[in-house]
């Protein structure tokens, strides 16, 4: 291969490469020019679109301005019209005020003229009155003050007499209708309800099989009797009385627990502190179960349903409570029965009357010293037990700690008073009994014209003997009413007290 051929072979590839580079450069210039042209077209189109958008926005802005302008013009016209109306009304009011001022001025002028005329007439009448007054004083021989006193005294006496007659007439008419119906209802309730009463005290006795048992009950150094007293919360008295142990305590539930525990210990024969504690605990559980059963029996006996378990339990506790010697559970049963009977006679709510009557003393089973009146405590307990508002208020009102708000509440009051005042229902100490009689007599003796006074029929009637020279028949009726009112306001007593005023005239002559 020649040198020329070699050179040709070397140069030819180089020339081909250079030709390709030149060709690519040429075609690149052609593409660049076409891209510039395309970009120019895009820019022109964008400018046209922007101009069109600007024109559209300008048109929209003009439309919005036109709308707001029209709205403002409309509001302006409306406010202007409103101001014109207000101005018109103000002018009308001003004209009306001017007319009223004119009328007022005319009325004031007329009033002044009439006032002047009245003053002249008043002065003339005063002169005429003074002239007649002097003439009357001259004829009667007394001053005007003395005449007034005589006249007022006579008028007062006549008024008292007339008022007394009217009051007596009204009372008689009311008694003829109300007393008969009330007596029929109460008598019916009492006849249909008969209960036995047993007096209770604060002591319980337990019989022993022999006097040797006393020593076993006392125990070594008194440990047995101290254990029983501490667990049961009572006092046990072991004295010279043969074969008897006395259990003393004001809580009848504790006395019953102590009695049953002691009887079981005596029957078993094993008496020591551990055994005593076991028996007392068992008897206490039995008593609590018995109280629930007694509450259920009482509710079943009266046909009362829906009482909660807590209410039945607290109701059963009343079996071991007494008030003035009267068993509280028996008393509650009687009150509920009589209240229900009277409610039936008077077409009232029988179930509500029975329910409130049965629960009216439930506060006595849980009340503690200083806690408050048992009626209020009982009403709060009934509210917690889920009783309705009428029943709660009737319980609270049965001793007038609250004002009765229903006829059923009044029936519970009446039934409670009847049950408490029935013969044999309650026992009363001699000192309290005599003091009550003395207070009745002292109230009557405090009235002017009363000579003697006697409380009879265990304080249920007060006979007042008045001086016939100082007390007329009309005044005697007033004294009877005033004495009864004062007894009601100052004394507390079961049942009712009849006040009888006796005025008599005795003329005595002797034949010699």
Q: Taking residues 137-161, what's their average pLDDT?
A: 69
Give CA–CA dist 161/299, Å, rounded: 55
To which residue do tokens 């007392």 refer? 280
| Three-state secondary structure of 97-156 | HHHHHHHHHHHHHHHHHHHHHHHHHHHHHHHHHHHHHHHHHHHHCCCHHHHHHHHHHHHH
The answer to whether residues 354 and 337 touch, using CB atoms and an 8 Å cutoff, is: yes
Pairing of strands 326-327, 322-323: antiparallel
Q: How far apart are CA 304 and CA 295, in angstroms?
A: 11
The mean per-residue pLDDT over the stretch 290-319 comes to 85
Q: Two tokens at 33?
A: 């020019």
Following DSSP, what letter does each residue of 273-340 receive, concatenated? Answer: HHHHHHHHHHHHHHHHHHHHHHHHHHHHHHT-----HHHHHHHHHGGG-EETTEEHHHHHHHHHHHHH
pLDDT of 369: 40
Residues in CB range of 207: below 8 A, 6 or more apart? 243, 244
Q: What integer pLDDT is reported at residue 372 of this predicted model?
A: 57
Inter-residue contact 388 to 372 (CB < 8 Å): no
Contact between 192 and 185 (Cβ < 8 Å): no
Q: Give pTM, 2 decimals.
A: 0.46
Helix or strand run (H / E) with residue 190 = helix 180-191
Q: What is the 3-state secondary structure (H, E, C) of 449-484?
A: CEEEEEEECCCCEEEEEECCCCCCHHHHHHHHHHHH
Residue 205: exposed, middle, or buried by beta-carbon count in 10 A (0-12, 13-18, 19+)? exposed
* Residue 496, C-beta contacts closer than 8 angstroms, at least 6 positions apart: 460
Q: Which H helix or E strand runs over 255?
A: helix 252-268
The predicted model gives 157-173 an average pLDDT of 73
Q: How many angstroms separate the CA atoms of 248 and 254, rounded?
A: 10
For 136-145, 229-238, 413-422, 460-469, which range has the lowest pLDDT when averaged over its residues? 136-145
* pLDDT at 383 exceeding the cut of 60: yes
Q: Which residue has the higher pLDDT, 301 or 16?
A: 301
Residue 216: Cβ-neighbour burial (10 angstroms; 0-12, 13-18, 19+)? middle
Contact assessment for residue 322 and residue 252, using Cβ atoms and an 8 Å cutoff:
yes
Q: Provide, rounded to the nearest whole percent, the portion of the chain with pLDDT above 90.
A: 0
Give the residue-averaged pLDDT of 422-432: 52
End-to-end CA distance of the chain: 215
Of 188-202, 350-364, 376-390, the one with minimum mean pLDDT is 188-202
Query: CA-to-CA distance for 242 and 251, rounded, in angstroms?
Result: 26
Local structure of residue 160 (DSSP, 8 states): H
Which stretch of 231-240, 279-288, 381-390 has the lowest confidence by average pLDDT? 231-240
29/162: higher pLDDT = 162
Query: What is the band of 285 on the pLDDT scale with cuts at 50, 70, 90?
Result: confident
* Ramachandran class of 94: left when φ > 0, alpha when ψ lies in -120 to 50, beta otherwise: alpha
β-strand 244-248 against 203-207: which pairing, if any? antiparallel
Residue 42 CB-density burial (10 A; 0-12 exposed, 13-18 middle, 19+ buried): exposed
* pLDDT attached to residue 200: 46
Q: Give the per-residue pLDDT at 199.
A: 43
Specify the range with the lowest mean pLDDT, choosing from 98-102, 443-447, 454-458.
454-458
Average pLDDT, the chain: 78
Q: What is the pLDDT of residues 180-219, one digit of tens each?
A: 666 565 555 555 554 544 444 556 777 777 777 878 888 8
Query: pLDDT class for 458, splitting at 50, 70, 90?
Result: low
Structural domains in the chain, sorted by start: 203-421 (3.30.1370.10), 430-502 (3.30.300.30)
pLDDT, tens digit, 9 for 90 and up, residues 126-148 = 888 777 777 666 666 666 677 67
Q: What is the pLDDT of residue 368?
A: 47
Average pLDDT over residues 82-109: 86
Contact 221, 268 (CB under 8 A): no
Identify the pLDDT of residue 322.
Answer: 72
What average pLDDT does range 114-135 have in this prediction?
81
């Amino acid at each position: 291969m020649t040198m020329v051929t070699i050179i040709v072979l070397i140069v030819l590839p180089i020339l081909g490469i250079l030709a390709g580079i030149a060709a690519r450069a040429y075609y690149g210039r052609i593409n660049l020019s076409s891209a510039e042209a395309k970009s120019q077209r895009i820019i022109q189109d964008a400018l046209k679109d922007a101009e069109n958008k600007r024109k559209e926005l300008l048109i929209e802005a003009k439309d919005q301005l036109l709308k707001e302008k029209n709205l403002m013009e409309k509001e302006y016209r409306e406010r202007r019209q409103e101001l014109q109306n207000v101005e018109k009304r103000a002018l009308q009011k001003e004209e009306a005020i001017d007319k009223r001022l004119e009328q007022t001025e005319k009325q004031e002028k007329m009033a002044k003229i009439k006032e002047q005329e009245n003053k002249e007439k008043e002065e003339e009448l005063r002169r005429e009155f003074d002239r007649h007054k002097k003439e009357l004083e001259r004829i009667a021989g007394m001053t005007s003050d003395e005449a007034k006193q005589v006249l007022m005294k006579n008028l007062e006496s006549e008024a008292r007499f007339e008022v007394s007659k009217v009051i007596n007439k009204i009372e008689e008419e009311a008694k003829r209708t109300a007393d008969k119906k009330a007596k029929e209802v109460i008598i019916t309730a009492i006849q249909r309800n008969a209960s036995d009463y047993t007096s209770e005290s604060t002591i319980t006795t337990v019989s022993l099989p022999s006097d040797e048992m006393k020593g076993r009950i006392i125990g070594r150094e008194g440990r047995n009797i101290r254990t029983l007293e501490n667990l049961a919360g009572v006092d046990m008295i072991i004295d010279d009385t043969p074969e008897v142990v006395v259990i003393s305590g004001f809580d009848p539930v504790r006395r019953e627990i102590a009695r049953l525990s002691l009887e079981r210990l005596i029957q078993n024969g094993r008496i020591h502190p551990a055994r005593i504690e076991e028996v007392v605990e068992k008897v206490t559980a039995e008593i609590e179960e018995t109280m629930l059963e007694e509450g259920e029996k009482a509710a079943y006996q009266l046909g009362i349903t829906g009482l909660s378990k807590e209410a039945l339990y607290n109701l059963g506790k009343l079996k071991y409570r007494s008030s003035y010697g009267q068993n509280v559970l028996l008393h509650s049963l009687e009150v509920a029965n009589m209240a229900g009977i009277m409610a039936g006679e008077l077409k009232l709510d029988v179930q509500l009357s029975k329910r409130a009557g049965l629960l009216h003393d439930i506060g006595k089973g849980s009340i503690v010293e200083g806690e408050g009146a048992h009626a209020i405590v009982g009403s709060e307990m009934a509210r917690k037990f889920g009783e309705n508002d009428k029943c709660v208020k009737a319980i609270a009102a049965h001793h007038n700690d609250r004002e009765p708000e229903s006829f059923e509440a009044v029936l519970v009051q009446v039934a409670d008073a009847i049950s408490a005042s029935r013969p044999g229902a309650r026992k009363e100490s001699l000192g309290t009994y005599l003091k009550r009689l003395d207070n009745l007599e002292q109230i009557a003796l405090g009235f002017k014209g009363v000579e003697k006074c006697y409380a009879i029929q265990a304080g249920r009637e007060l006979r007042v003997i008045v001086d016939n020279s100082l007390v007329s028949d009309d005044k005697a009726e007033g004294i009877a009413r005033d004495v009864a009112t004062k007894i009601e306001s100052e004394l507390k007593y079961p049942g009712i007290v009849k006040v009888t005023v006796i005025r008599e005239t005795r003329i005595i002559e002797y034949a010699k």
